[in-house]
Structure 1
Amino acid sequence: MRFEGIFSPSITPFTREEEVDSSKLTEYLDFLIKGGIHGLFLLGTNGEGPLLTFEEKKEVIRTAVEHVNGKIPVIAGTGCPSTKETVELSKYAEKVGADAVHVVTPYYYPLTQNGVIKHYRKVAESIELPIIIYYIPERTGVKIDVSTLLKLAGIPNIVGVKDSSKDVIWAYNAITLVKEERSDFVLFGGSDALIFTHLILGADGVVSAVSNVFPEIVVELYHEIKKKNLGRAKELQDKVLKIRQALKKCPYLAGVKAALQLRGLDFGEVRSPLEFPDKEKMHELERALRKVGVL
C-alpha cells in the first residue's frame, strides 16, 4: 500500500442513543471511496477516537477493514494514553488486517523526548505493521523535536508522521531533514488551511477534515498540484479554506457531521460532551456553504 494523496480522517457514525452505527459506517466509507479519496485515517480527532471505548474502537477498525477489502489503505488509530493499551489495540489492528496504524503522542501527562521515543519504540517492537506518528501538540500537550523525529525514523516500521501542529517551519524541517536520512519516510499534512503549502513543500499527502464532507474538491486540489496547475490548485485551496471557516461556525468538531446532513447524508451527531449545532447554527452553516457554492 502506498501512503500518499488525500486520506480522510473518517467520522464515526452514531445512533440517536450515541452508539456506534456500523451499518452507517459502511455507507459513509462508500461515500468517501466514491469521492475518490486515496485512503482512510480511522479514529483520529474527526473520528472521535478519544470518546470511544476500547471495544468500540475495535468494532470500527474491524468493520472498516472488512468493508473496504483492500480498495484503499486503511490506517487505524490505535494511540492511547498508555503504552500498554496502545500495544494491545495495535496488535488487534494488525490481526484484523489494517494496512497501518497511526499512533497519537500519548496525552494528558507531560513527556520527555526520551519518553516519546520509548513509547513509539515499544509499540513498533510489538507489531510488524507500518506506524504513522500522529503529531498534534495542541491536543496532546506534547511536542516532538525534529531531532526526536529523526531518531524515530531510524526504527524500520515507523514509516511516517501526520503533522497537525500547523507549524510550517516544523513541517519543512521534518520534510527536508528526515527525508535526507530516509527518503521513503512519509509526511502527511494535517491542516486543511495548509494543503497547498504542505504539498508544495514536499509532503506526500494530507489528512483532510474537509474531505470528510467534500472529498471530490480536496482530491481535485491534490491532482491539480500533482499536474503543476498551481493557479487552479490555489483557487481550490481558497475554496477549501472557506469551507473550513464555515465548518468552524459550529461547535467544535460538529461542523463535519452537520455539513454532511446538509448534503443529505445523516450519520448522526457527535458524542457527548461534544455539542451538535442548534437550528440557528445549522442555518448559519448552510448559508455559509451556499455562499462558497458547494451546496
Structure 2
Amino acid sequence: MKSSSPIADARDMSRLFTAGNRLQGIVPPLITPLRARDELDQEGWERLIEHVIDGGVSGIFILGTTGEAPSLSYRLRRELITATTHLVAKRVPVLVGVTDTAFVESVSIAHHAADAGADAAVLTTPYYFPAGQTELTAYVQNIAPEIPLPLMLYNMPGLTKVWFEIETLKTLSEIQSIVGVKDSSGDLDYFRRLCDLRNEVREDWSILIGPEAMLPEAHQLGGDGGVAGGANVMTRCFVDCYEGLTANDSAKTEAAISKIRRFQDIYDVGKYASRHIKATKCAASLLGICSDLPADPFHRFFEPERERVAAILRDLDIL
C-alpha cells in the first residue's frame, strides 16, 4: 500500500537501506543477462546474484548504465526488479535505477520498485535534452516527493551530458529522502568537493565512486566505496580492495588493486564505446555465469575478442 507521505516513508526505509546511515562497500552495477531480445536469462540472473552476494558485496544496483537500462523495455525492467528482490530476499540492499526521459515513467518504475521491496532508487540527470542547473534542481525537487524510496543521485556527465554541479547538490541536500550520490565523472577534484559537501551539509550521505580503478583515491578523499562494474566478475577482489583500504592493510589493498588494474584491459577489447558493457558480459559468460547477449543495438563479442578477454582472465587466474 502506498503512503500519502513518500518522503516520510523514505526516511523510515533509509534505516533499512544503510548501516549507520551510510551505505559503504562495494555495490556492483549488475549487467542484465539476456536470453533473447526482451527476454531475461533467468538462470543466469540467479547465478549472477548468488555470485556477487557470495563475494561479499554491500548491495546490488540494477538498471544502471552497466545494466543497459535505457535499452530495456519497461516490461522487462519491471520483471527484472521483481526477480531481483525475490532472489536477494533482503540479504543485501537492492538499488534500482529509475532514470528515464519521461518524468512519469521514472515515478512509475520507482513505485514498482517500492512495491517489489527494493531499498532505494537511483536517479541521474534526464538525458537527450540537456537541462540547465535551475531546471535540474526543480526537476529533482519535483520528482523526489513522488518516489517512495530513499533516493541516490547519480552523476554521469559522460553519457547524460549534464553534471550535478556542487551548488545544485547543496540546494538538493535539503531533501531528506536523498541519501547520497554516485559519481561516475572520473574527476577526482569533483569527487573531493562532493565529499567536502557531505561533511558540510549531510553527514548521512553515502558517496560512491563509479570508475572502479579509482577506488583507492576515492577512499583517500573520504568516499564510502565503489559501484564497480568489474565486481560482476571479480567480486571478491573488489571487496578485498575495499576491506584492505578500510583496515589500512596495504598488502591486501595492493594485491587487489593490481588485479583490478590488470582487469581494466578487458575494456580495451573492441573498438566501440559499447565495449565496456560487452567486455563485462563476455567475461561473465566465460566464467559460466550468464549469457553475453547485449541489448539492441549492440552485438556480442566475436571469437577473436572473446579470446582476448579470456587471455586476460587466465592471466588473472580466474579462468
Determine if the TM-score, normalized by the shorter chain, exceeds 0.5. Answer: yes
Q: Secondary structure at the match of 2:123?
A: strand
* Mapping of residues 74-85 of structure 1, within 5 Å: 74-85=94-105
8 A contact 1:76–1:102 mirrored in 2? yes
Report what 2:178 is aligned to: 158
The CA deviation at 1:252 is 3.9
- Is residue 43–residue 290 contact of structure 2 (8 Å, CA) maintained in 1? no
Contact 1:83 1:122 in 2 (8 A): no
Cα distance, 1:117 vs structure 2: 1.2
Alignment partners' CA distance in 1, 2:254 and 2:221: 14
Aligned-residue offset at 1:116: 1.1
C-alpha RMSD of matched pairs (Å): 1.5
Stretch moving more, 261-270 or 5-14: 261-270
Aligned 1:114-263 pairs, distance under 5 A:
114-250=134-270, 251-263=275-287
**Equivalent position of 2:12 in the other structure:** none
Please, which runs of 5 or more residues in structure 2 have no aligned partner? 1-16
CA contact (8 A) 1:162 1:189 kept: yes
Per the TM alignment, residue 102 of structure 1 is displaced from its structure 2 partner at its CA by 0.4
Matched-pair identity in %: 28
Distance 1:29 1:258 in 2: 17
How many Å separate the matches in 1 of 2:109 and 2:289? Answer: 30
On the 8 A contact 1:36/1:216 being kept in 2, the answer is yes
Matched position secondary structure for 2:50: helix
Name the counterpart of 2:6.
none
1:278 maps onto 2:298 in alignment: no
1:21 alignment counterpart: 41
Structure 1: tracts of 5 or more residues without a match: none
CA 1:177/1:31 → structure 2, altered by over 3 Å: closer, same or farther? same
Task: State the 1:17 CA deviation.
Answer: 4.5
State the AA in 1 paired with 2:311.
R
Once the two structures are overlaid, the 10-residue window that deviates more, 215-224 or 22-31, is: 22-31
Alpha-carbon distance in 2 for matches of 1:80, 1:165: 19
Taking the aligned partners of 1:220 and 1:79, their CA distance within structure 2 comes to 31
Question: Does the residue aligned with 1:30 lie in a helix, a strand or coil?
Answer: helix
Instruction: State the distance in 2 between where 1:131 and 1:17 align.
Output: 30
**Moved beyond 4 Å, runs of 4+:** none
Secondary structure at the counterpart of residue 133 of structure 1: strand
- Which fold has the larger relative contact order, with Cα–Cα distance below 8 Å and residues 6 or more apart in sequence? 2
| Secondary structure of 2:189's aligned partner | helix
User: Contact 2:183/2:208 (CA < 8 Å) preserved in 1?
Assistant: yes
Alpha-carbon distance between aligned partners in 2 of 1:40 and 1:126, rounded to the nearest angstrom: 23
Relative to structure 1, is the Cα distance of residues 266 and 24 closer, same or farther in structure 2, using a 3 angstrom cutoff?
closer
CA distance in 1, matches of 2:309, 2:43: 27
Distance 2:98 2:197 in 1: 27
For residues 173 and 264 of structure 2, the distance between their equivalents in structure 1, rounded to whole angstroms, comes to 32
Q: Which AA in structure 2 matches 1:266?
A: C
Contact 2:29 2:227 in 1 (8 A): yes
TM-score normalized with structure 1 length: 0.95
- 1:95 matched to 2:115: yes
Cα distance in 1 for partners of 2:285, 2:106 equals 33
More off after superposition, 283-292 vs 78-87: 283-292
TM-score normalised according to structure 2 size: 0.88
Letter in 1 for 2:202: R
